[in-house]
Structure 1
Amino acid sequence: MEACGLIVEYNPFHNGHLYHVKKARQITKADVIIAIMSGSFLQRGEPAIIDKYYRAQMALQAGVDLVIELPYAFAVQNSELFARGAVQLLHALNGKHLCFGSESGRVAPFEKHYKQMKQNKTQYQHTLKNMLSRGQSFPSASKHAVEMIFPELPLDITKPNNILGFSYIKEILDSNLPIQPHTIKRIKNNYHDVQITNSIASATSIRTKLIKQNEKHDAILSTIPHSSYKQLTYYKEKTGIWHHWENYFPYLHYKVTTMSTNDLAQIEGVDEGLEYRIKKTAPFAVSFDDWMKQLKTKRYTWTRLQRMFVHILTHTTKQEMNPLKELKKMPYIRILGMNAIGQTYLNSQRNACIAPFISRYSGKMHPLLTVEERASRIYYSPLPRKVQKQMIYQEFRGPIIDKN
């Protein structure tokens, strides 16, 4: 059996994701579709709108065969670390293909861009460092450094899916992995679109409807599979909320105000004296959005600040994360859900995979899982206590088995 991997968040699973699953299977002729999915918190530094198990169920009901959790230590990171964790997990599962969405729609520009970057690595790093010293954010500095070095760019690296796609290609080629990359062009919407204009809409626009306008009918129903709508409905009925940053603002604010600047400086992502700016603005912040607007500058992007706040919220320190970020091979493969095809594939690979399978928290755990458990408990903290206990209990049970 050959497997194709998709690196995803499914926040929530929508028609664009369904298109991706079907095209990946068609292009690669894979027997198995594996989703490497972020857990409680996501790459842009946000809580997932509903939890990982309901999102895994969405995926399984829409054609994915196996859902594997991308550990928190890689999920809430820049594109390079995010890609490393996800691609190495796919490799650990002996996945032969990786199919990702992009604004480019062709693999060749990614590979050409990689070769150019590798040949001019020293010049790029020198130029990037110079741009950063002038106070530019990393994305802006990287863009300008690339434009200065390469007069004709094979790839637009300002586009969010292209950025991630390039990181996937880089990890595959840097590590010389036996994974064949494929890409499909993003259609009918842009990553950051906030308005729903057709049946394939961005996850951002769907969440905007759900959270800000509390809409859950006509417009949203046209953009997601019915099975996704059912899981969204079940989750809201069970928990009473959609997870978003304002749910966590009181916890975050309390944590910051009771920490010293020295303690804040030990947290992952709190760099370049940001601890002083955080403490200075904390007394005046009346909401998460308000706090972000006070903190954001040309140098500190919204995404970088959100990731930093996730790490503060989960009390994830640099000392804890640094050795985890250096991992080149995944120490375990955590299974969130599977169908019969996924189960058959796992059984066929049990002796061939380079990491053990796990499905639940246990007594003595790898440090990656220790961080994961803490993040999961924080994620459920806005829920009523009785519901919290029920939801956390999922983490100690086996994976979801979809029998449809």
Structure 2
Amino acid sequence: MKAAGIVVEYNPFHNGHLHHARSAKESSGADILIAVMSGQFLQRGEPAFADKWKRTEMALASGVDLVIELPYVYATAQASDFARGAITLLDAIGCESFCFGSEQGNIDPFLKSRQLLNSKNLLYQQEIHDAIQSGISYPKALNKAYQTVTDGEEGVADLSKPNNILGYHYIEAADRISSSMRPLTIQRIGANYHEPITEGMSIASATGIRNAFFEGGSIKELAKYLPAPSLQALQSFAGEYGHFGSWETFYPMLRYTILKDRPANLRRFAEVTEGIENLIYEAARKEQDFESFLALVKSKRFTRTRIQRMLTHIYTGFTWEQLKSFNQPSYLRLLGMTKAGRHYLHAQKKNITLPMISRAADLTDDLGKLDIHASSLYMLGMGAGNLKKEFTTPPIYFG
């Protein structure tokens, strides 16, 4: 059985994701589609709109055969580390190929860019360093360095686009671990990464869907952008919790954590740097809602995403010391499977190179304990009375 891998967040699973899943399977010629999916906290540094189990349900009902959790350390990391964790897991579970959506829509420019940056790595790293020293944000420094190194080159990827950037990092990660997986990309269609919902379109960005809901829309009103199983899962989640995950919902607990720890302790947490802990503390003292708080912290040097990742680590208590202690994923955490996915695991069990974990009780190393801890804090932020869902929820089976 041939497997293709995809890296996802499904926050929530919408029509664009359905197109990606179907196209990935078709373009790869695979029998099985395996998704590595972020858990309760996401790469942009925010709590998931719906928990990982509901998002797993959406995926399995819409063409994905296996869902594996991307551990917290990688799910909340900058693009290169996010990609490294995800690609390592797809390689370990035996995928023959991996497929990502991109604005580019053609794999050749990515391969050329990777070859070029490999050959000019010293210059590229120096340009990044110089750009950061000039006071611009890390993403802007990467793009500036890339533009310098590729100046005059034809046929390279446009790394000013968010999905292209992530796609390049997937290829870079596969190259660095000497993976035999074949990289594939499909053209992203419909709304762009952060675009608001546009009337007349059936494909909207996950950001647009979330924003429309938080601005007063109902899940039912957003039905045309969601496959039917996603709509049902979100309605079920809303019925259980009465709301969806967001920093606005989590802010009272985040604010308490910030004020309790004080600046001297805040700087211990991963990604908190350059004195921003003082600004975070003062903003938390002054502001009673998250967006007002964030407006006081944002600057040209620190993007919203980077600040939110700092806040995620403050909320979960994830420190610089912990961040530096993890080198690579140590297990495959199974969140759900279809009948075909179960057959694949049975057929490939001798070829899978990391332990397959289906119970939280078996997550006994530091990486696994961190996932359990983060999940418990997500449930607490959602107002759940029972924080043991991590232990009481078996892998979802979609027969």
Give the whole-Å Cα distance in 1 for the aligned partners of 2:383 and 2:165.
Answer: 38
- Say which of 168, 171, 177 aligns to 1:169: 171
- Whether the 8 Å contact between 1:362 and 1:396 is mirrored in structure 2 is no
Residue of structure 2 equivalent to 1:30: 30
1:173 to 1:18, Cα distance in 2 relative to 1, 3 A? same
Alignment of 1:57-72 (within 5 A): 57-72=57-72
Amino acid paired to 1:66 = L
1:7-62 CA distance string (max 9 Å, x none) = 00001111111111111111111010001000001100111110000100000001
Structure 1 residue 109, shift from structure 2 partner = 0.5
- Whether the 8 Å contact between 1:2 and 1:96 is mirrored in structure 2 is yes
Residue of structure 2 equivalent to 1:233: 235
Structure 1 residue 286, shift from structure 2 partner = 2.2
Residue of structure 1 equivalent to 2:368: 369
Residue of structure 1 equivalent to 2:225: 223
Q: Classify the secondary structure of the residue corresponding to 1:308.
A: helix
| Structure 1 unmatched runs, 5+ | none
Give the whole-Å Cα distance in 2 for the aligned partners of 1:59 and 1:394.
Answer: 19
- Whether the 8 Å contact between 2:360 and 2:390 is mirrored in structure 1 is no
- Whether the 8 Å contact between 1:196 and 1:206 is mirrored in structure 2 is no
Give yes or no for the alignment of 1:400 onto 2:385: no
Structure 1 residue 145, shift from structure 2 partner = 1.6
Residue of structure 1 equivalent to 2:152: 152
Give yes or no for the alignment of 1:242 onto 2:238: no
Residue of structure 2 equivalent to 1:351: 350
- Whether the 8 Å contact between 2:363 and 2:369 is mirrored in structure 1 is no
- Whether the 8 Å contact between 2:99 and 2:186 is mirrored in structure 1 is yes
| Structure 2 unmatched runs, 5+ | none
Amino acid paired to 1:293 = A
Give yes or no for the alignment of 1:11 onto 2:11: yes
Amino acid paired to 1:401 = Y
Q: Classify the secondary structure of the residue corresponding to 2:245.
A: coil
Amino acid paired to 1:131 = A
Structure 1 residue 364, shift from structure 2 partner = 6.6
1:79 to 1:278, Cα distance in 2 relative to 1, 3 A? same
Give the whole-Å Cα distance in 2 for the aligned partners of 1:176 and 1:339.
Answer: 30
Amino acid paired to 2:125 = Q
- Say which of 300, 303, 318 aligns to 1:301: 303
RMSD: 1.3
Give yes or no for the alignment of 1:254 onto 2:250: no
1:384 to 1:136, Cα distance in 2 relative to 1, 3 A? closer
Structure 1 residue 134, shift from structure 2 partner = 1.3
Q: Classify the secondary structure of the residue corresponding to 2:360.
A: coil
Amino acid paired to 1:58 = M
Q: Classify the secondary structure of the residue corresponding to 1:267.
A: coil
Which moved further from structure 2: 80-89 or 126-135?
126-135
Q: Classify the secondary structure of the residue corresponding to 2:361.
A: coil
Alignment of 1:201-220 (within 5 A): 201-218=204-221, 220=222
Residue of structure 1 equivalent to 2:281: 279
Give the whole-Å Cα distance in 2 for the aligned partners of 1:97 and 1:364.
Answer: 28
Give the whole-Å Cα distance in 2 for the aligned partners of 1:385 and 1:22.
Answer: 35
Q: Classify the secondary structure of the residue corresponding to 2:125.
A: helix
1:169-220 CA distance string (max 9 Å, x none) = 00111221010010001112100111233001111111112222132224x1
Structure 1 residue 374, shift from structure 2 partner = 1.0
- Whether the 8 Å contact between 1:209 and 1:216 is mirrored in structure 2 is no
TM-score, normalised to structure 1, is 0.95
Amino acid paired to 2:16 = G
- Whether the 8 Å contact between 2:41 and 2:75 is mirrored in structure 1 is yes
Report how many aligned residue pairs link the two structures.
396
Structure 1 residue 148, shift from structure 2 partner = 2.1
- Say which of 311, 314, 318 aligns to 1:312: 314
Amino acid paired to 1:317 = T
Give the whole-Å Cα distance in 1 for the aligned partners of 2:227 and 2:314.
Answer: 35
Q: Classify the secondary structure of the residue corresponding to 1:100.
A: strand
Structure 1 residue 321, shift from structure 2 partner = 1.6
Alignment of 1:35-54 (within 5 A): 35-54=35-54
Structure 1 residue 221, shift from structure 2 partner = 1.1
Give yes or no for the alignment of 1:125 onto 2:128: no
Amino acid paired to 1:177 = S
- Whether the 8 Å contact between 2:39 and 2:51 is mirrored in structure 1 is yes
Give the whole-Å Cα distance in 2 for the aligned partners of 1:121 and 1:22.
Answer: 36
TM-score, normalised to structure 2, is 0.96
Structure 1 residue 225, shift from structure 2 partner = 0.6
Structure 1 residue 279, shift from structure 2 partner = 2.1
1:400 to 1:130, Cα distance in 2 relative to 1, 3 A? same
Q: Classify the secondary structure of the residue corresponding to 2:225.
A: coil
Give the whole-Å Cα distance in 2 for the aligned partners of 1:203 and 1:364.
Answer: 30
Which moved further from structure 2: 357-366 or 101-110?
357-366
Q: Classify the secondary structure of the residue corresponding to 1:259.
A: helix
Give the whole-Å Cα distance in 1 for the aligned partners of 2:389 and 2:360.
Answer: 10
Residue of structure 2 equivalent to 1:139: 139
Structure 1 residue 385, shift from structure 2 partner = 4.6
Give the whole-Å Cα distance in 2 for the aligned partners of 1:344 and 1:138.
Answer: 43
